[in-house]
Structure 1
Amino acid sequence: MPLVPSRRAVLGRRATFLLPALLASPAIAADLPRRVPPGTRLVAADQNQALQTMMQASGEHGRLAATVNYANFLGGPAILEAFRAGALDLGIVGNTPPIQAHAAGERIPIIAARTSTEPDYKFAVRPGLTVATLKDFAGKRIAYAEGTGRQPFVLRALQLAGLTRRDVRLVPLRVSDFPDAVRGGQVDLAPLNEPHFSRYLAQWADRGASALPADQHADLPRRLSYLYASGRALDDSAKAAALRDFVIRWIAASRWSKARPEEWVQAYYVRLQNLRPEDGRAIEASEGEYRFPALSTLIAPHQSTIDLIHAAGDIPRRLDAREEFDLRFDAVIAEHAA
């Protein structure tokens, strides 16, 4: 299984060339444009085809004012590279990719967020091993992916256990390799999201697959999804208006998935992911309730995540979380998420 080299050296070189535009993010007092001219197009980064499926199954995709195409990725680093290549206008990611983009000197501001009452990931344990508490992580091999939401999730777990990265072995892997690594015993623990977590436990139960107990996840970070957008797209009045419209439709589609859970389960977990309906329902229920907070309320917790990653030595300098949000979208969120 190929390993992913650390991005610290690359980020360190880029961090000294932070774009002036990053420090002068869009004026928060200005209104977003609203008119989406005919022919406006957006390319959105998706993960596990969840965004596209939700938008289409809810009917919100058909209500979009712009033509939106979806490109599927697995993990924030691949999405960041596509942004850097100019191939994307927006993407859905966890809490870490905006930090990595900032550290690399890329202007990709956060334009909306969705939180959940449930943990961001769950720790799968390799077959034949039992891990009862976070303190049992000491001496274990843990799958690790810089630039993804799994990075601060693992670091926070170590912090809660009173451990440091020196007390464990962090194994750098691509996110797509996490399930195979824990199944094959190449790592002892891997933070997995759905449907990979439930699929692992179901398919490998006869070989002793297990997980960190649910109560040990209680203080770990809650699920957080960010929509972030290219600075170039935000500087284009047509695309900025289309992004405003996309945020509105994304909030509506997310709410639809909770209001019509059976339809969502059938569309995504059963037809696309090939899970049994009962497994899909269990996963959907485990995702908790959604909230769409004002971006201004997320600055402090986001700063805490930045500081955690910086303290671990994974970014070369402390960043200012305020520079990673386009607060013009708070008015849109307040109007449509109330």
Structure 2
Amino acid sequence: MLIVSSSARQSTLMRRALSTWLLLLSATVMASGTATGQTTKVSSGTKLVVADQNEGLQTLMRASGAADKLSSTIIYANFLGGPAILEAFRAGALDLATVGNTPPIQAHAAGEQIPIVAARTSSEADYFFAVRPGLKVDTLEQLRGKSIAYGEGTGRQPFVLNALKLAGLTRKDVRLVPLRAADFPDAIRSGQVDVASLNEPHFSRYLADFADRGASAIPKAQNDRLPKSLTYLYASKKALDDPAKAAAIREFVAAWIEANRWSNKNVDAWVDAYYVKKQNLKPADGRKIVEADGIYDFPSLTSLIPRQQALIDVIFEAGDLPKRLDAREEFDLRFDDVISKTN
């Protein structure tokens, strides 16, 4: 009988454990890394179904010339709002979409895997606070006791919640009125609510059309206290697990960043291509929208984790999430490599 000493057995077990650990580490690197084991060449015939709203994304990609640099076939599908896009992801009908900061949180809370692959920040906030005719609100603190339009599951939700937090208020100090985003302009014009968050051109039109009735807004200096705009590009887990589609998504991320930079540098061309020719707006209205959008930046996904976590916490503390979520689970950090190459 061969007798193995205790120390020899220990040494053998340690070597096996180390070998197993190295194999697991290798697998982890391949799963989360960018260069290792990830296809970057787009296969012929690869198609991506990309969500669009009011043809904004496809017009941007084509007008900027970024669409011509894509190797894959892009099929744009028009939607109205983030909730409809989320339902399409759930049905397996979408590969990629641009959304505000809130839909990824809603998807996460619902157990959906739609990782964020790119982000665009802005120098301006998403919305402005319009105040009903005849009422004046000069500071965020004066929101106390007011009725406020509230769009749960949309970007307007954290916009309002952050305003309350900055003012030292809670939802108990105001009356939140649940409304669809499309109903916000009518609600503030009719006085159904005291305050509503509007974007352009609805905000400027409201102030102009109802000036004789005393339409007003919370001053921009107060608006500037709020977090700046944040737009995400997120993709279905199924598409990211497909090597051909994952490569096409990497290519789309780079092109999307390039297209957005073009819109910032070529304001008149962008206004004409989209707001005038597609939306039938006057050039002046189009320029107001672009000015409200601010100057874009494209930070690493890693750097946005604390900001997204703060947003999650605000929504959770307001009672609108069933549990506190971990923001790290909402990002595919492999795409930081693509983002860094565009900067």
- With the shorter chain as reference, the TM-score category is 0.7 to 0.9
Question: Could you tell me whether the CA contact under 8 Å between 1:198 and 1:283 is conserved in 2?
Answer: no
Evaluate the alpha carbon distance shift between residue 130 and residue 101 of structure 1 in structure 2; reply closer, same or farther with a 3 A threshold.
same
After superposition, residues 208-287 of structure 1 pair within 5 angstroms as 208-287=214-293
Task: Indicate whether 1:306 and 2:305 are aligned.
Answer: no
Provide the aligned C-alpha RMSD in A: 1.9
Evaluate the alpha carbon distance shift between residue 46 and residue 205 of structure 1 in structure 2; reply closer, same or farther with a 3 A threshold.
farther
Amino acid at match of 2:261: R
Show structure 2 runs of 5+ residues with no match. Answer: 1-27
Task: Indicate whether 1:189 and 2:195 are aligned.
Answer: yes
Question: Could you tell me whether the CA contact under 8 Å between 2:102 and 2:153 is conserved in 1?
Answer: yes
Give the % identical residues.
66
After superposition, residues 80-229 of structure 1 pair within 5 angstroms as 80-229=86-235
CA distance in 2, matches of 1:33, 1:203: 54
DSSP 3-state at the match of 1:272: coil
Amino acid at match of 1:279: D
- Please, which moves more after superposition, 204-213 or 118-127? 204-213
For 1:27, the equivalent position in structure 2 comes to 31
CA distance in 2, matches of 1:111, 1:266: 29
> How far did 1:255 drift?
0.7
Per-residue CA deviation, residues 154-178 of structure 1 (Å, 9 max, x unaligned), is: 1000011111101111111222222
DSSP 3-state at the match of 2:316: helix
Amino acid at match of 2:196: A
Per-residue CA deviation, residues 283-337 of structure 1 (Å, 9 max, x unaligned), is: 322322111000000001111111111101111111111110000000000001x
> How far did 1:29 drift?
1.6
CA distance in 2, matches of 1:195, 1:158: 25
Match of 1:66 among 67, 72, 95: 72
Match of 2:49 among 26, 38, 43: 43
- Please, which moves more after superposition, 276-285 or 263-272? 276-285
CA distance in 2, matches of 1:74, 1:139: 32
Equivalenced residue count is 314
CA distance in 1, matches of 2:134, 2:224: 24
CA distance in 2, matches of 1:195, 1:234: 36
Moved over 4 A (4+): none
For 1:291, the equivalent position in structure 2 comes to 297
- Please, which moves more after superposition, 281-290 or 221-230? 281-290
Compare the two structures and name the one with the higher helix fraction.
2
Evaluate the alpha carbon distance shift between residue 207 and residue 238 of structure 1 in structure 2; reply closer, same or farther with a 3 A threshold.
farther
- Please, which moves more after superposition, 229-238 or 124-133? 124-133
CA distance in 2, matches of 1:231, 1:68: 18
Per-residue CA deviation, residues 62-97 of structure 1 (Å, 9 max, x unaligned), is: 322212122233332221111111121111111111
Evaluate the alpha carbon distance shift between residue 89 and residue 165 of structure 1 in structure 2; reply closer, same or farther with a 3 A threshold.
same
Per-residue CA deviation, residues 41-67 of structure 1 (Å, 9 max, x unaligned), is: 212122343212211211212322212
CA distance in 2, matches of 1:200, 1:70: 32
Evaluate the alpha carbon distance shift between residue 265 and residue 202 of structure 1 in structure 2; reply closer, same or farther with a 3 A threshold.
farther
Per-residue CA deviation, residues 149-204 of structure 1 (Å, 9 max, x unaligned), is: 11111100001111110111111122222222222222222212233323333343
CA distance in 1, matches of 2:210, 2:43: 51
